Structures are given as C-alpha cells and as structure tokens.
Structure 1
C-alpha cells in the first residue's frame, strides 16, 4: 500500500520550553509540522519535524535520518529549538565555536552535531524530545542497517525508485524536475517516464566560464524526446551577494550552492509545488569522493593514511588570515582526533567511509540547500531518501559501490529509447560575464575584500588588484571569487556574531 504524501507548513519557527518546580512553560506554536511525511505514525517516512504541546507535555520528533534541519540549545531543563539560526540569534546571543569553524574551513563541512556556534547543536540522527513536569528527555538515534536481498541489485534499485515515486501519483501540486547531465536526476527522470508521471517543468541552470558543462544541452535533449517543458536558466552573476544570502538561509552549514540562486528565483515565480530532488544518489550509489583507497585504509585501520586522504592541505588559504584569526587554522592533531572519533562511529556498517560522508557532509551541506535555499516557495521531495530505498543503498555491497559502473547499469535498464541521450561532459563553456556584470562584480568583490577583517591588510589590497587585473580576462574574476568564498564565509560569520 502506497503511503500518502503530507506536506507541512513552509517557513521558519522557534519554540522554547522549560521545566521549573514541576511546571512546564512553553512558548511558540502548540502544534507544528514542517517538511513532508509519508504517513502519520511515529515511524513515518519523510523529511520533517513535528511536535505537539498538550496537557502540559511536549512531544517532538524528526525524520529518522535527521534530514530536516533543526537546531537546539539546551541549558539544564531549558530547551530552544528552531530551523533558523537567525531566529535563535534574535532570542539568544551566539558566540563562535572556533574549533568547529576551523574544521569546517579545512574540510568544508562540520563534524557530528557541531555547528559554527558554541552550544548550538544539529542532531546527527533522529531527534526525539519529551518534556513533562518530570523533566526533559532528549535522544538522538540512527537507523540500524538491514540485510539486503542478494538477488539482482540492479532490478531492486529500479523497483525501489519506482516505489519511492508512487506517493506523487494523483498529486495536484505542480511537479518540478531539476535536470542535469548527471546520473541522479537522470534516474528520477527515467523512473518518472516509466511510471507515466510528467513534471510540469524541468529546468537546468548554466555555469559561468571558466567552468564548463553541457548540462543544459543534455537536459534539452531529454525533454524534447519526452515532450516536456524545459527552462534554461542563466548563470548567477551577483556572486558575492548570492553567496552571503545562501550562507544565511543555510544556517552557515555549507560553502556551496550559491550557483542555484537563479533556481530559487525561478521557482518563486511558479506556483508552489514539489521539487524532485536527487539528493543522496551519488554518495550512496557511486561516489567520486569516496574512493576504494579510503575504504581499504579504513578496514586496514590505517588511520593516518585515511586522515590524509580526507583532509587535504590548506596552507594557501591559511596564509591569508590575520594573526587575530589564527584560531581558524585547525591544529593537525586536533583535526585527526576529531575525524577519527567520527569515522570510528561508523564501525560495523557495510561502507563506513560512505556513511561518514553521508551523515557529516551530504546530509549537512547538500540537503539543507535543497530544503532551505534552492526550492523557492516549493517543497523538496527526496526519492533516494525513502526508507526502503535508502536502507537498500546503506547496505549495498562495497564491490558494487566501488565498481564505477553499478549506477550506470541501473540507468541502462531504465533508459529504453532514451539510452542514446548522453550524459554530460565538460565540453560546453559556461556563460561569460558582460562588461556591466563584470564591473558590478569587481566593485562587490573589492568592497567585500577591503572590509573582510579576517584577511591580512596587504592581502586585501592584493586581492583587489587581482580582481581588477581580470579586466583582460573576465573569466579570471569568476575563478578568484570561487577561491575567495571560503574567506568570505569566515568574514561574514565573524560579522554575524558581533
């Protein structure tokens, strides 16, 4: 039986609860449901947070993977929860967790439950909260890995994706399909085609030169062959302001995805609907980040080698920081200790390094962009995260995962007459900044550099001169901003807590 898709309230919330002398004091909406669920029971599938405050008792739970971004501050029997760090900051002054930020600066993601702010936690699994006159109970858990059927993995993958899309049958809300030249969106697209489900619109955003891809051309071919509407979106050109807006909306959890600003703008012009997001397919099926070398090092307990494979050197970025902000350079021993503690928490899983990246990187830095930034007024729906499918992927044998061809073979089964449509290759140059766009971006970059106090003064000037020198090759300004975004993130974060 197919579960019913239930969509929650859009927007942000904050709730506060405390227990004093046997009395529960609660502030906020007494009932809340954000995200989406597939069913009503306590173990419902989906990506959500929901709570109810009744009869002097609060019960709150999130989805089983903790995909829906929620944060909590706890002090003894007082608890504050929100999906927005900005709302939390309006109620409680925040200070930076410099060690956590330093790890983020090095790795590009936070570890475990840590965030950029002291005491503010992002649950690393399903959060369950119960508050009554007797006190406050908070627990966090992750699903145990199940055994996978060893027969015909490729067909199982096809069948499970088909099942994951069934809750969309009969939906009256508009369906939107972000379509690239990669495997994850292709998997969803082909499964929709097989099921007779037609998105109201597919869309693809371009990139800026010197970056290359032919995603738009590939997506247009797929849509032409299936008589679907395709919207090509120009690349974002206001790279500084879009980066800063993205940081705020994603609660400073990612340094990526500001390129998706045109997508959010486009979806804001369309009727609110459901966005079919390919989150999780890559890291759990056929990742370019998780390598066989990492897997071998983990099982050989060669921890020094594994840390080196995960934490690449970052000396050039470090050299830009002023003496006052050297705390944002993580000590190598501390980094190794923190990394190993988190890596070893996945001992006993089928593919521990893939699990490490899923729970710490993908779940924290990628899913949040889909939920809070990329979808405009619409709701992100994650087919790869439906319970049976994600449990299957969690248990995928390493030999298949590291084969480099498993997901491709699955797509060959699904493709039918669309098998001749290629995947993207890095052949098509991205959009080029116009002179007006370049001039505007140079001014924004220069202003940002000169006011970024985490950077050494002489390097601020050097950065401005480097930006101005791109007048002879506008692509170089895009490359510089791509490098600079890590330093821009730190500067914005420091200003945020002033």
Structure 2
C-alpha cells in the first residue's frame, strides 16, 4: 500500500509506485502507478482499470493511493457518495469510476492523471471493435484459436496450482493447459453447501491424473465477510468464498476472470440491449435493475429515501449511454462495471497479495473478439459450452457442477440469525424487517433470507466503522 499527497506542486509520501498483474511472454499486460518529477505528478492506470488507483482532489490538494483506507485517513471529511451507494445497493457493484466515498474516484481504464497544482485527466478514446461478420461455427473456431494463444503467451516454466470450480471458465483453462502439455502439479477446489463444485472438479482432475485438494471453510461467515471487505476496499458483496482458498494458492495462478460475462451470457437481458441500442437509457436502467437488482425491503425508510431509485437509475442510465454502439451493450456494461469494479478484485485485490495471477480471458486480442460478438446471435448462454465441447470432445462426458439446496442445523440457524441481525442494526436497516428475516431463517432450512441483505449492506456498515464515515 502506498499514498502520495500533493499540495500545489509539493509532494510527500511515495514519490513513485508501480503495480502490475497478468504476466505474459511480452511482460505484464496490466501495469499502473505514478511518479513525481519536477513538480509534476503523473499517474497511469492499467489498460482495463482492473488495478484500482484511488484519488481525491480539492483546490490545490490531491491524494492518490492504491488503498482506500490510507486515503480515507487523510480526507478532511469522510462521507458516503449517495448516488454511487444507491446503485451499489441495487446491483452489488459500483458504476463507472465512482466509489463509496464522496469525492473519491478510481482512475478510468487506460488513462493518465496529471497534477501540477491543478488536475488534468487524459482518457484514451475507446473505439468499438468491428462487429464479427462470421457465422457461429467460425466464431467457435476463432474462440478456440485465440484462447489457445492467450494461454500459450502466459505459460511459465512452473505452472502454479489451478483453482478449479465445476464451471466453464477454469475448466477451459485446465483442458487447454492439458492440450498444450503444461498441466499444473495439482488443483484446488472449495467444498460448498450450495453446489457440487468439489465433485465436478474432482472428477475432471481424476480424468487428468491430477491431485485435487478440496478446501474446507476455516472461518465462520462473519470473519470471512470482514476479511473480504477489507481486501475488496469495502466495495464488493461477492468474492467471500475466495478467502477460504488464499492459504492454498501456489502461483503463478491462472484465473478465469470474465469468461462467463464475455462468452456465456451472464447477466444478459435482450430487451435491455435493444433499449440501449435505441437510446432509451432510462428505460434500460429501470428494466436492468428489475431483472438483476437486489431487493431493498430490508432498508429503513431513511435508507430508501437517501439511496433512492432515482439516484441509482440516473447513474446506471448515464453509464448505459457509454455502451451504445457496442455489439453487445449489456455485455460491455457488465464487463466494464461488475467485472472491472468487483469481480476483478478477486485476482487483483485478493490473490495478487499472495501470488502472481494470469488472466487469459482478458488477453487483448481475445477481449476484442468477445466485444465484437453481436448480442442478437451470441448474447444468450450456451456459446462457451459449444466451444469447450468442440475443442475437447473426449471430456464432454464430465459433468459441470449443479446447484443444490444447502441445509443447516437448527443451532446454526439460531446463531447466524442472532449475529447477522445484531450487525445489521442501524439507521439504514429496517429492524422489524430484519427480525422477520431472522424468523424465516430459524423456521426454515436456509440462511438466504438474511444472507442476501447481510452481504449487500455489511460492507457499508463495516466501512462506516473502519473508515470513520460520517452519516
């Protein structure tokens, strides 16, 4: 963690700082950092904006850091950005370059911040790639070719332990490593109550003659959330499961980041894409929130009024406008917002603290191909399955993971209900509603009635306490 403070053209703190990720044969594909020379500070973000650099400026002062905690400690006042938080409460991630803190932003992708007493930002113009003109079979072949290249340019003499789920993204990586004769020495998966991930991962590993380490949860749900929130800058309601795997990482580690969004239609809504194409951004925002937004009945009246639908939908609408003209505007929106601002924090904010991470699905050529696929043909789920099936037909009989309904003992439900309810009490949560959710957990077999509001709201409550946010 590093921070630099600027007052007019004087600097104190880290006068230079560099971060990198995704090592390739040509060097890291993601690099960012800053340097202070001759009264000027120049900060550069990585090409995707995956490695967050936080900045704040007011008058003749600037703060720049790779840690929101370090930056918050030096702010003259620490407050929520109500519009950004409103969108987060509905979608679970932050939009554009906003953060949970008022006045604090992250550098946009592939941009340069220059400070010489005043702030200037240079952003490279993002031109939509030409729409893919081939048919579906040709697209499958192109995906296979480009993914093979993305893997080969990231091969190292020693392949680290692969984190293997029961899904498509990590399976594609492992099967391509096998095809190129570069298997890892073993794989690790996580046993979950709500999925057969561990079974599917172990089956595939056995077929390849690999040892499969099955990790168990070592921390309770509340410790996991607290650790995850700090490592994700208090800006993610997901990624907690990865805490259980941190001690098992042995790098460099291939990660399947973005494969589901870019090639298997995750969060795609055809009607939203059509609305964006026609410029009906407000309608698109309302529909997208209705389809993929979290329910907010757990919020108090004050919380719903302060972090209102209007604030959230206005920000989302403005962001949708930036993606008009893309071959698949919903895919583009989800990639540059959910993937970039939340899911990328898993390999960037969590795994990278332990090992080097490799991100083949965001290889420049492969990413350009993904973003060129028209939503009318490739928007819905199934494309990635076709690719894996054609590229590795001898493994087609190995089943993917399935969801399953988790069960919890009565004592577990009691303890979870009490602890979660106590942590959620405050100005933004409806106490009667939280009590009703707690009762549903105790009476039923699932923690879900409380898990959903807890995972969404607790990062904000923890940030309030640990960053000293004024309400």
Does the alignment reach a TM-score above 0.5?
A: yes
2:183 paired with 1:194: no
| Cα distance change on mapping 1:200 and 1:376 into 2, 3 Å | farther
RMSD (Å), alpha carbons: 3.0
Q: Distance in 1 between matches of 2:22 and 2:169?
A: 22
Structure 2 match to 1:456: 430
2:8 paired with 1:31: no
2:141 paired with 1:155: yes
TM-score (norm 1): 0.83
Deviations along 1:21-50, one digit per CA (max 9) or x if unpaired, are xxx322233332212265899xx7622313
Q: How does 1:46-445 map to 2 (within 5 A)?
A: 46-92=29-75, 93-132=77-116, 136-141=119-124, 143-147=126-130, 150=133, 152-172=138-158, 175-208=160-193, 211=194, 213-235=195-217, 238-267=220-249, 271=250, 273-303=251-281, 305-312=283-290, 318-332=296-310, 334-374=311-351, 377-402=354-379, 404-426=381-403, 428=404, 430=406, 433=408, 441-445=416-420
Q: Which moved more, 1:456-465 or 1:108-117?
A: 456-465
Q: Distance in 1 between matches of 2:264 and 2:294?
A: 31
Q: Distance in 2 between matches of 1:291 and 1:316?
A: 16
Q: Distance in 2 between matches of 1:439 and 1:377?
A: 35
| Cα distance change on mapping 1:240 and 1:265 into 2, 3 Å | same
Q: Which moved more, 1:313-322 or 1:73-82?
A: 313-322
Structure 1 match to 2:452: 482
Superposed displacement of residue 187, structure 1: 1.6
Q: Alignment partner of 1:476: what SS?
A: coil
Q: Alignment partner of 1:35: what SS?
A: strand
Q: Alignment partner of 2:102: what SS?
A: coil
Q: Distance in 2 between matches of 1:155 and 1:249?
A: 38
| Cα distance change on mapping 1:282 and 1:240 into 2, 3 Å | same
Q: Distance in 1 between matches of 2:304 and 2:330?
A: 30
Superposed displacement of residue 95, structure 1: 1.0
Deviations along 1:320-375, one digit per CA (max 9) or x if unpaired, are 3334434444143x444322221111222221221111112221111112211356
Q: Distance in 2 between matches of 1:306 and 1:460?
A: 31
Gaps of 5+ in 1: 1-11
Gaps of 5+ in 2: none
Superposed displacement of residue 389, structure 1: 1.2
Verify the 8 A CA contact 1:247 1:254 in the aligned structure 2.
yes
Q: Distance in 2 between matches of 1:226 and 1:315?
A: 40
Q: Which moved more, 1:480-489 or 1:83-92?
A: 480-489
Q: Distance in 2 between matches of 1:405 and 1:478?
A: 28
Q: Which moved more, 1:61-70 or 1:410-419?
A: 410-419
Superposed displacement of residue 121, structure 1: 0.5
Superposed displacement of residue 386, structure 1: 1.4
Superposed displacement of residue 262, structure 1: 0.7
Superposed displacement of residue 290, structure 1: 0.9
Verify the 8 A CA contact 1:264 1:375 in the aligned structure 2.
no
Deviations along 1:196-242, one digit per CA (max 9) or x if unpaired, are 2222332221223xx3x222111111111112221112246621232
Deviations along 1:404-454, one digit per CA (max 9) or x if unpaired, are 33222211232142222122223x555x556775565455324324x4342
Q: How many residues align?
A: 464
Q: Alignment partner of 1:423: what SS?
A: coil
